């Protein structure tokens, strides 16, 4: 009889403990992101990999030398670097120049080997994650802008005439 | 204190001026019926919204927030959707009972709802056996649930209905015995009279320990009677898909859904009327200024405030506890709740004689 009553009292006490815990959850502030409304307000962390981009500076210069290391490193053939030979203005010799930097978002696994291996920091990850499209062909995108060219090499130390290389990083 | 007899009396006089006494009575029946149905539907929609919102908050979510401001029109949109859905005819089902079951459930619920005292003089019918009528009519729903389970010709509905029958019939004993405590204390079964007696102090305060015990047992038994909370075995979704209403679709399912939510409201309202004083304001003896200030709040606000507080307890419990097994459920009723209730009734009788 004594056990019967203590069991009931203990059971009730445990139930109230459970209700206290759920009430704590009830009054806790909610963290749910209101996504379409807060578009652009949310800060994503720097290492978030959403889309491969090639930064261009204000004079439409990128830093890709079309070496093709990223293409070689890419495990699933997502990147295709199409290059052409073009006469270098300074030396007059033929030089490999980027023609089209093709990137297929549909097959990219966001492993990051391309940005990791790029010797010039020409490509990086951006936070643009809204990729939904109606046709798959639009996922196949060209990263270098039309008419863009390789940023000129920074000149030797006495003449600091290379403002192009620095802002490109910040973009 | 202002009450609704002004409005109802005015409508009565107006109808009597326009037509004969018989037709005026018929017109009043129709008006009362329509008003009750409208309030029933609106309250059910509000309850569905409240349930979804409160449930979401207990689960650290936000809940419906797309349709209308804060999602308030979500349940209206759901209602429109459910009205447009097809009524599926189940192969080899008992078609007559299948159709009848959903009506039985909702008729039992509406009949109970109609007898609730919402405010002074805002009371469709004031029986002298009001609480007995409520207990009796609310058990009509069990018949509907058993019918639905049998007529659907499906193992899930059958098991759900059998569980529901066992559960509802058991827990009605505890609910009845808990309400009996208040009937003993007040000496009447008339709801308006019970509420009037709580004008100085609510029964949960002036009924000493028995009333508090009865309140708790009634809340527990009431949750079990609504097939909700930790007692939702008849529709245990992980075991029986949806229990007794698995095979229903469209507005027939909507009837079960509405009846479930309104039964929750009715249980809360009966708890509010019997234990928390219905539409009487909170009075503390000796605090004249406080009592006077409380009198300014209309009775209907008190009634719905208390009822929704009880509804919140129901939701709180529902989203806190895991579901019981069927043997645990019946053990809780027959081994714990019913003995407590019986002892409580004896205790109340002794107290009622002594005081």
For residues B272 and A141, give the distance between their C-alpha atoms in angstroms, rounded to a whole number.
66
Number of H helices, E strands in chain B: 16, 0
Q: Looking at the DSSP assignment, which residues form a beta bridge with residue A63?
A: none
Range of the domain at B317: 5-354
Min distance B103 CA to chain A CA atoms (Å): 36
Nearest to A132 by CA among A55, A69, A50, A37: A50
DSSP letter for each residue of B258-303: HHHHHHHHHHHHHHHHHTS-TTPPP--TT-HHHHHHHHTS-HHHHH
Residues (pLDDT < 70) of chain A are 154-171
Q: Do A30 and B317 touch (CB under 8 A)?
A: no
| Set of chain B residues whose Cβ sits within 8 Å of the Cβ of A25 | 57-60
Count of positions (residues) in chain A: 171
Q: Do B321 and A18 touch (CB under 8 A)?
A: yes
| Set of chain A residues whose Cβ sits within 8 Å of the Cβ of B61 | 30, 32
Q: What is the mean pLDDT of chain A?
A: 80
Nearest to B318 by CA among B51, B71, B61: B51
pLDDT given at position A155: 57
Whether domain A51-150 has CATH 3.40.50.10800: the reply is no
The contact set of A with B (CB < 8 A) is 8, 15, 18-19, 21-23, 25-26, 28, 30-32, 34
| Set of chain A residues whose Cβ sits within 8 Å of the Cβ of B58 | 22, 25-26
pLDDT given at position A159: 47
Interface test mutation site (partner B, options A30, A31, A35, A37, max chain B beta carbons within 10 A): A30
Min distance A17 CA to chain B CA atoms (Å): 10
Q: Do A22 and B57 touch (CB under 8 A)?
A: no
| Set of chain A residues whose Cβ sits within 8 Å of the Cβ of B219 | none
Q: Looking at the DSSP assignment, which residues form a beta bridge with residue A80?
A: A102
Report the domain count for chain B: 1
Q: pLDDT tens digits, chain B, 355 residues: what are they?
A: 566 777 777 777 888 777 877 888 888 888 888 988 888 888 888 888 988 888 888 888 888 888 878 888 888 888 888 888 888 887 887 888 888 888 888 888 888 888 888 877 777 778 888 888 888 888 888 888 888 888 888 888 888 888 888 888 888 888 888 888 888 888 888 888 888 888 777 877 776 788 888 888 898 888 888 887 788 777 777 777 777 888 888 888 888 888 888 888 898 988 888 888 878 777 777 777 777 777 777 778 888 888 899 889 888 888 888 888 888 888 888 888 888 889 988 988 888 888 7
pLDDT given at position B87: 83
Are B273 and B116 contacting, i.e. CB atoms less than 8 angstroms apart? yes
Q: Do A22 and B60 touch (CB under 8 A)?
A: no
| Set of chain B residues whose Cβ sits within 8 Å of the Cβ of A3 | none
For residues B307 and B267, give the distance between their C-alpha atoms in angstroms, rounded to a whole number.
9
Residue of A nearest to B54 (CA): A26
pLDDT given at position A170: 43
Interface test mutation site (partner A, options B215, B320, B332, max chain A beta carbons within 10 A): B320
pLDDT given at position A171: 41
Interface test mutation site (partner B, options A21, A26, A31, max chain B beta carbons within 10 A): A26
pLDDT given at position A148: 77
């Amino acid at each position: 009889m004594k056990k019967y009553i203590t069991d009931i009292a203990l059971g009730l006490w445990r139930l109230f403990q459970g209700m206290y815990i759920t009430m704590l959850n009830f009054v806790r502030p909610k963290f749910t992101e209101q996504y379409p409304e807060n578009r652009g307000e949310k800060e994503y962390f720097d290492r978030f990999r959403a889309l491969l981009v090639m930064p261009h500076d204000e004079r439409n210069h990128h830093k890709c030398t079309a070496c093709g290391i990223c293409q070689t490193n890419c495990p699933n053939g997502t990147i295709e670097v199409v290059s052409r030979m073009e006469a270098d203005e300074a030396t007059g010799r033929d030089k490999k120049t980027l023609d089209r930097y093709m990137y297929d978002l549909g097959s990219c696994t966001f492993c990051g080997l391309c940005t990791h291996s790029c010797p010039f920091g020409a490509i990086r990850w951006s936070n643009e994650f809204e990729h939904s499209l109606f046709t798959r062909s639009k996922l196949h995108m060209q990263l270098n802008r039309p008419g863009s060219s390789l940023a000129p090499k920074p000149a030797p130390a006495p003449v600091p005439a290379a403002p192009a290389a620095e802002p490109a990083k910040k973009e | 204190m202002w009450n609704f007899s002004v409005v109802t009396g005015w409508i009565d006089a107006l109808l009597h001026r326009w037509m004969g006494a018989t037709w005026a009575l018929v017109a009043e029946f129709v008006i009362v019926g329509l008003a009750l149905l409208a309030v029933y539907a609106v309250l059910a929609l509000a309850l569905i919204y409240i349930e979804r919102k409160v449930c979401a908050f207990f689960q650290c979510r936000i809940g419906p927030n797309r349709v209308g401001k804060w999602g308030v029109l979500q349940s209206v949109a759901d209602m429109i959707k459910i009205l447009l859905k097809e009524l599926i005819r189940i192969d080899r089902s008992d078609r007559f009972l299948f159709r009848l079951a959903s009506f039985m459930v909702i008729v039992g619920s509406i009949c109970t709802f109609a007898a609730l005292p919402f405010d002074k003089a805002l009371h469709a019918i004031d029986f002298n056996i009001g609480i007995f009528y409520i207990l009796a009519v609310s058990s009509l729903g069990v018949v509907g649930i058993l019918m639905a389970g049998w007529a659907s010709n499906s193992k899930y509905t059958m098991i759900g209905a059998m569980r529901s029958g066992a559960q509802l019939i058991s827990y009605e004993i505890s609910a009845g015995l808990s309400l009996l405590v208040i009937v003993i204390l007040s000496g009447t079964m008339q709801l308006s009279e019970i509420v009037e007696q709580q004008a100085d102090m609510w029964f949960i305060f002036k009924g000493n320990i028995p009333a508090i015990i009865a309140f708790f047992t009634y809340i527990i038994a009431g949750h079990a009677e609504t097939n909700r909370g930790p007692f939702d075995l008849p529709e245990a979704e992980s075991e029986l898909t949806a229990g007794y209403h698995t095979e229903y679709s469209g507005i027939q399912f909507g009837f079960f859904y509405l009846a479930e939510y309104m039964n929750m409201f009715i249980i809360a309202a009966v708890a509010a009327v019997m234990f928390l004083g219905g539409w009487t304001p909170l009075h503390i003896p000796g605090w004249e200024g406080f009592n006077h200030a409380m009198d300014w709040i209309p009775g209907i606000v008190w009634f719905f405030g208390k009822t929704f507080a009880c509804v919140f307890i129901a939701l709180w419990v529902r989203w806190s506890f895991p579901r019981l097994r069927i043997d645990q459920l019946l053990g809780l009723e027959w081994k714990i709740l019913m003995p407590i209730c019986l002892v409580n009734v004896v205790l109340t009788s002794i107290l009622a004689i002594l005081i």
